[in-house]
Each structure stands twice: as C-alpha cells, then as structure tokens.
Structure 1
Amino acid sequence: MEGRKRVAVLGCTGSVGTQTLDVCRQHADRLDVVFLSAHSRTAELTAYAREFEVARVGVTDPAHAGDPVLSELPAGCGVAAGMDAAIDACLAPEVDIVVIAVVGAAGLTACYRLIKAGKTVALANKESLVVGGDLIMPLVRPGQLLPVDSEHSAIFQCYLGERASETHLIWLTCSGGPFFERGRAELASATVRDALAHPTWNMGAKITIDSATLMNKGLERIEAMHLFQVDVDRIRVLIHRQSKIHSMVEYADGSVIAHLGASDMRIPAQYALSYPERWETPAPRVDFRTLSALTFDAPDMETFRCLALAEEAARVRGTMPCVLNAANEVAVGAFLDGRLTFTGIDEVVETVMDAHQVAPVDSLEQLIDIDGWARGRASAAIASRSR
C-alpha cells in the first residue's frame, strides 16, 4: 500500500464528495483517504471516518462539532471545528491532494489558502473561481489546480497536447435543465419539485436549481474564463440534451476536439485524482451504437435571465461576479424554502447587481465583505417582495 496518493475531501457528504469516495473505494490500492469534512451531517461523516479509518475529521459548522454521534469516531480520531480548522488540517504534510467539494462561496477561502500554500487542489467548487479567480489564478502553478466539474474537466482534457493560444472557441455544453423550451410565463409557476427534476445528472439541490435557471452554466462560463484564460466572448454555451458531449474546444484551423462519455461525476472526479494517468472507469461505459441522436440548441437568454446576468457579470468583472454569486445563493435558498418564485431568482439577482458599485478585486477580505453585503441586499429584496 506504499505510494498511495493521500486524499482529503472537504464536503464529503455532498453529491460530489460521496462520488469521490466511490472512486476512492474502487481504487483503494492507489488512494488513501486521510481527512474528511462535513458541514453538519455528522452521522454520515462518522460512518465515512470509520470506513476509511481517518485520523482526523472536520465539522465546518461549529454548532455540530459536539454532536453525540461523533463519539463513535475511530479511536484517536480528532475533530477540527470550523472551516479554518478544516483547512488547517488539509495543509498538513501528509495530505497530497485536496478535493474541494463544498457548495457555494464557502469554498473560496479554502481554495485560496490551499493554492497559496502550494497544495494540489481538485476543484469541484466553481464559486471559488467565479468570486476569487482574480486572486487565485495568479498563484496557480502548472498541474496544481485540477477541475472536477465535468465541463471544465472535459475542456482541460481537450487541451492536452494542444496549444491553448490556437483556441478559436470553447463550446460549453449543458443539458438545458428540466425547463428546456418552456416560456417565461410557464417558469413563473414552476415548483421546487419541478425544478429538481434534472434530466440527466444526479446533483445536490442548490446546483440542480442553478441548472434549471441556467445560472450554473453562467457560473461555469466565468470559471472557464479564469481556468483557461479565455475572454467570455470565446466561450459559447450550447444546449446538448443527451449530456454525452461534456464540452468541446474549437481550434483556429476549424478542428473541434470534443470530450464524450457517461453522465457520471465519478469520471471527472477520478481523472482529477489520477492525473496524468487514466484508471479503470468507475462508471458504466457508453455504447454509442445505442444513441439515436446527439442534438444541439442555442440557449434562450431572454427566458433564462440568469445566463444573461452571468454574462453581464463576466464582462464587468471586478467584484460583480462575487455579487452575482452571493445574491444567487440567497435567492435559490429562498426558492427552495418556498419564499420566492422560480422567476424571482433572477429578479432578485438583478436587483442586487444594479445596486452594486463595482471595484477591482484586491483581497480575500474585500470579497468576504462584498459577499456579506450582497447577501444582505438579496435578503432585503426577498423580504420586500412578500410584503
């Protein structure tokens, strides 16, 4: 078992975190899980800690750091309470790679600190670069930041052996979500259950709602700008209902290299952990003989306003993507709680963006302050709509 890559997973109980652990189970001869964190789901965290026999876990919500179930952790297993303590545990020399699978802007500080300290990061938290790409990317060494999002992993692989300077366009694909070809009037009455019925991917609630509004694709577009140093105008969103082409890169000579495969997050998670090697697949293979069609459409940015707002934030840059992301997180939470309509999500985001005075990004502290301001404005906008 010598020579195994030692893995820490921040957010091990979420959708990407649990699928990452599936990969670690399949490749236990290559991967050694040494640290796990969860926000509040301590029963699941305890079960995983026992399974993988980790020496330390993190509970990022301090209110749950004393949950009785944690008494069932393996003998000698320590508990790091709070996000800062969990990040500190990931900085330990016995950690080779950190999978950041936490949801939302909570991943920003982790990504920034880990990259700054020289750790290799497998990034499943797109918000880190949406909000803090201007701070993080100048610190990144080659091979240090490995994308886990299926689309960005696909683009990363389409660039292997190619010259990025010869890129004509990046085609960023998406399924179109559960409301493809619906009109704005129909979306106004969409329920939470409707919005969570994603046609191809199994994901957590927040990212599933973002996929229904197409905000997820807008955030991924901003993330791709930072990861691949490409202007937003050269990143095109393409509706691909079958979710078999995970993205494409079109080069100057007209050649297009596409990444195809099953709709299974374990594949990009595994590639981030195995890079630069390829290991036996953790997912069922696609039999292309059974696919009747691969279809493509342009997104409707008038109906799905979140995609247009994300494009605006990408053009303005500076602190505007931070505001976009924070307002969206609050609005999505309100929709899931039944306090906001589906179309109210983009309306709240637009209200907060309109109120923001953009500034260049200059520090992590600045972004944390602006994130807090945007959340407050979004909460106020939601409250005013219910009066």
Structure 2
Amino acid sequence: MTAARKRIAILGCTGSIGRQALDVCRQHAERLEVVALSAHAGTDALVAAAREFGAVRACVTDAAHANDPILDELPDGCHRFQGMDGAIEMCLADDVDIVLVSVVGAAGLRATFELARAGKVIALANKESLVVGGELIMPIVGTDQLLPVDSEHAAIFQCYRGEDPKEAHCIWLTCSGGPFYGSSRGGLAGVTPERALAHPTWHMGPKITIDCATLMNKGLERIEAMHLFHVGIDDVRVLIQRQSKIHSMVEYADGSVIAHLGASDMRIPIQYAFSYPERWETPAPRVDFRTLGALDFGAPDMETFRCLKLAEDAARAGGTMPCVLNAANEIAVASFLAGNLPFTGIDEVIDACMDAHTVEVVQSLQQLLDIDAQTRVRARELVRARLR
C-alpha cells in the first residue's frame, strides 16, 4: 500500500523559501500534496502555484492586493482568504499536516503562535517568531511539533539526534561572514545596497541578505537557538565558516564534535522538515568533498559588525528587548535598502531604540505586538531625523 501524501500549507509561497519549498514539493509529488498557499502581494505567482499544485485554499495577506483581477483565475474550488487572519484560518483545517511559516519578519509571529497553540506541526523558516516570542511559543509546543528550517538550526537539530542534550558542551553556529568579512568599520561606511546584496554563498531575499551582511542574521539565530535548544546565549558560539559547507556543529562534554555538512541549498533543510523523521533523495546537487579544497574558520568581529553584539545584549536583557531589537532592525534595513540610511546607520538606529526601551517580562502576544509597533515608530523617527 502506498503511504498517504503529507499535506502541506505554505505561508509565503512567493518568497525565496516559499519558491524553494514548492520545488521540493514538485520533486516529491508522490509524497507531498500542496493544499494551501499564501502570498503577501505576489498574486500572479500565487495563482500560478495554486493552479500548478491544485491548492484548495489561497490567501492574500496584503489588503491592497486582495482583489487583484488575476485572483479570478484561481483553480475551480479553490477558496479565497484575506489577511493574516485568513492565512491562519486556512492552515487550521483538518487536511493540513504541516505548515511552512516562511513569511518575512515579525509578521510571522502571530501565525506561529496560533498554529502552535492549535497543535499544528510547523516547519519554521521565520526566525523572528522565536526571537520576538520564544518565551510565549516554546512552552506550548510539543515534541517534534516545531521543525527548524533555517539551515543552521536544521543542522543543529540533526546533530542532536540520538544524543543526550544534557551532554552537550556548546553549539557552534556557523556563519559565512557575509560579503564584507575582514572589513574595518570605516570601510563599511559607504557600502551600497547593491554591494550588500551580493552574498558570497547563499541566494536569499533582500532583507535576510542585508542581515547576513551586518551579521544581524547570526545574532537573531543565536537567540532562536537559545529557545529551540533550551540553552543560554554563551552556549551558542558564532564561528565563521567561509565556504558555508559546515552548517553548524554541536560539541559534547567528551570533546567530540558532530558537524552537519552539505551543499549551500535551502531545499535540503526544507525537505528535511517535510520528510522528518525520514530522509528522501536530495533535491540539490551533491558536494564532492574531494574537490572542495579547504574549509576555513574564523572568529566574528563584534566591534566592526555591531549588530551581532546588539543581539547578544538583547538576549542577555531578555524579556521584551529582543522584540525591540528585531523591530528596529526591520525598519533600519528597509531604510537602508531605500537609500535613506547608511549601512553603518543600521546598528546605530537599533542601538538607540534599545537604549530607549525599559525591559518588561513577556506576558502576552498583544504586549509584543504593541512594543513592536511602538519601536517601529521610534525607528522611523530616528531615520527621518538623520535625513533632515
């Protein structure tokens, strides 16, 4: 008897992770069935994907595009939803086995929280959910309910398999170093968006690519790892690995280190979240380690790349401070991409927002949403003040 296909919902199907997830579903059509898709504004791509995979539900989260004429071309019987409320609602249906949360930024927080509370299995590609709301979300998730999709956290998850987490000494969270590895602080002052978007090893969306250039992405990932693996910030150590072939490592009490190696291709961790606990044929070209040549390592420079230090400070402060860190970063990155903030202004805006915040104990989702909104207002004011 053929095993039933796993039924997949993808929140953010038109972004980089969403598109690669659809490719995994395309390659494993006999194992995966796409039943629900959401997009923020890319309605053309949403309709194309819904038609290709025969999705029975589709959602547009941007109200400005909720009635785009192209949506009339959704397949027959495909139910339409609007807004993040609609996206969450369509994923709560009984015919959804796994939800890939791949929306960008803090927008994914409420979806992750509501889906976790409902008991849905979540393939999490939205690190901000745990950076901002880890103290709310982790206490309500069950065993194997939250499967990490970030390449580093998927790697750590696999390095823990079959081991006793209590015997772990530390996590080595690897990082390519981004396009400006080895630069001085002064050398970063005139960086343009075009240069910052030229990542040396990964092809990703613009926001996460800028986060990789500032090393904020690694700072956010340290906080995410704290929540996922129940460790302290000092137990998660950042290691520069220029070739992006070692995706992370776990060092154990006896000195043994288990590393996860492989191609720099996000389809691999996406597929593992869908196939878990099984392993399926690779969706990506294999690495021939006979020709790789070398694996280089280094330490991050927190003085030059201050976002990494600010994330560490936020982790140590705890409570609502990571929410402020993330919200300020999202506004600062968007301002840099729009040409309204220099590259080195990103960490300056974040630092000012964190300095103005009084840490609170995390108590509710609404509290975090309010602080997120307040921080965005403050960050925009700081950007505008620099333009005057």
Scaled by the length of structure 2, the TM-score of the pair is: 0.99
CA contact (8 A) 1:129 1:223 kept: yes
Aligned to 1:289: 290
Q: Distance in 1 between matches of 2:353 and 2:186?
A: 23
Indicate yes or no: 2:110 matched with 1:109: yes
Q: Distance in 2 between matches of 1:358 and 1:54?
A: 43
Q: Distance in 2 between matches of 1:381 and 1:182?
A: 26
Aligned to 1:372: 373
SS in 2 for 1:80: strand
1:150-199 deviation line (CA, Å, top 9, x unaligned) = 00000000000000011111000010000000111110100000000000
**Superposition pairs for residues 250-289 of structure 1, below 5 Å?**
250-289=251-290
**Superposition pairs for residues 179-198 of structure 1, below 5 Å?**
179-198=180-199
SS in 1 for 2:319: coil
Q: What's the offset of the Cα at 1:56?
A: 1.1
Q: Distance in 1 between matches of 2:365 and 2:167?
A: 33
**Superposition pairs for residues 115-194 of structure 1, below 5 Å?**
115-194=116-195
Aligned to 1:39: 40
Q: Distance in 2 between matches of 1:281 and 1:137?
A: 30
Q: Distance in 2 between matches of 1:357 and 1:260?
A: 41
| Count of residues in Structure 1 that have an aligned counterpart in Structure 2 | 387
Q: Distance in 2 between matches of 1:212 and 1:250?
A: 27
Which 5+ residue runs of structure 1 have no aligned equivalent? none
Scaled by the length of structure 1, the TM-score of the pair is: 0.99
1:52-77 deviation line (CA, Å, top 9, x unaligned) = 01111010112211001111111121
**Superposition pairs for residues 1-387 of structure 1, below 5 Å?**
3-387=4-388
AA in 2 matched with 1:33: V
AA in 1 matched with 2:4: G
1:320-345 deviation line (CA, Å, top 9, x unaligned) = 00000000000000000000000000
CA contact (8 A) 1:65 1:79 kept: no
Which 5+ residue runs of structure 2 have no aligned equivalent? none
1:98-118 deviation line (CA, Å, top 9, x unaligned) = 000000000000000000000
AA in 1 matched with 2:368: L
Residue 2 to residue 53, structure 1, CA distance change in 2 (3 Å):
farther
1:11-66 deviation line (CA, Å, top 9, x unaligned) = 00000000001000000000000000000000000000000011110101122110
Q: Distance in 1 between matches of 2:152 and 2:192?
A: 27
Q: What's the offset of the Cα at 1:2?
A: 6.0
CA contact (8 A) 1:266 1:283 kept: yes
SS in 2 for 1:288: coil
Q: Distance in 1 between matches of 2:138 and 2:78?
A: 34
Q: What's the offset of the Cα at 1:291?
A: 1.1
AA in 2 matched with 1:354: D
Aligned-residue identity in percent: 70
Q: What's the offset of the Cα at 1:141?
A: 0.5
1:220-255 deviation line (CA, Å, top 9, x unaligned) = 000000000010001100010000000000000000
Q: Distance in 2 between matches of 1:202 and 1:2?
A: 34
Q: Distance in 2 between matches of 1:113 and 1:53?
A: 26
SS in 2 for 1:36: strand
Q: Distance in 1 between matches of 2:11 and 2:360?
A: 30
CA contact (8 A) 1:24 1:33 kept: yes
1:108-131 deviation line (CA, Å, top 9, x unaligned) = 000000000000000000000000
Q: Distance in 2 between matches of 1:78 and 1:270?
A: 27
SS in 2 for 1:282: coil
Q: Distance in 2 between matches of 1:351 and 1:321?
A: 14
AA in 2 matched with 1:298: A
4+ runs deviating over 4 angstroms: none
Q: What's the offset of the Cα at 1:266?
A: 0.1
SS in 2 for 1:289: coil
Q: Distance in 2 between matches of 1:278 and 1:349?
A: 41
Give the aligned CA root-mean-square deviation in angstroms.
0.6
Q: Distance in 1 between matches of 2:195 and 2:352?
A: 25
